[in-house]
Amino acid sequence: MNESSAEMRTRLTAWGVTPVGTGFSTPSSELMPGTRGGEAVMLKIALVEEEARGATLLEWWGGHGAARVLARTDRATLMVRATGSRDLTVMAAAGQDAAATAVLVQSALTLHERTPPSSGEVPLVALRDWFQVLLTTRSDDPVLRRAAERAERLLATTPPADVAVLHGDIHHGNVLDFGDRWAVIDPKGLIGHRAFDFANILCNPTETAALDNLAARLNTISRQASIDPVTLAEWTIAWCGLSLAWARGDAIPTWHARTARAVAELLLESLNDGSKSSGTFSIGA
């Protein structure tokens, strides 16, 4: 039995969890659905530092827009499990993209309501550190180069009023139906400009959905989150560049990488064309 499996067994017993079905693994964690005292729960064992940091942040949010943490150690987290039937990916594919986007935006806004914690209370990664792989990449790829230029400028000019504790990976699969509310799971634990938390929405949940709804989503998010559309577009370009920097060396681009490149190219072209008027943003104008 490996160390994480042993920890899983220890926590199941210590926290009185009865497994439901079978557990499963990801590259960064091991998970076991279960029940405790009649409540649906999920036990998660972190395999990497990023997951452990995210669990600390989930606990700090205290259920405010996030899955509620019931117990936690350095590596293990017991949280309420989502059992609702609604799915944002399904909604986006079924003609309800605007409704799904609104849920994602409100989820991020709810998280951002909390004042950043005092130093050391929660381990958070500054956006500049998160972007290092893009900022230090030397490439002839024009998308990477232009994304890095924008990221450097945005990171250097973030107004203090726009700094928030960030989830870092808001998308359709990380905001779940808990029955009476939507709540996030799997935060990365970042801090920086709040616009960063909306960029990934524009690149999900599929390549088709992202490209077909890009302009509508950008304008909707800009309005609902009170972020200038050009600022949101530039943060999205920076996010896309970061995604591409992470994917460098892949033999076959994933749909995530293809989408990031396509979204960045469309936004760069639109910014160059000055495709913004009357507070709205046009794509391919």
d(CA 247, CA 187): 20
* CB contact at 8 A, 190 and 103: no
Torsion angle, CA of 259/260/262/268, rounded to 10 degrees? 160
d(CA 123, CA 281): 36
d(CA 167, CA 102): 17
For β-strands 190-193 and 125-126, DSSP reports them as: parallel
Other CB atoms within 10 Å distance of the CB of residue 142: 11
* CB contact at 8 A, 168 and 197: yes
3-state secondary structure of 49: helix
Active site residues: 169
* CB contact at 8 A, 196 and 235: yes
* CB contact at 8 A, 141 and 205: no
The DSSP letter of residue 194 is T
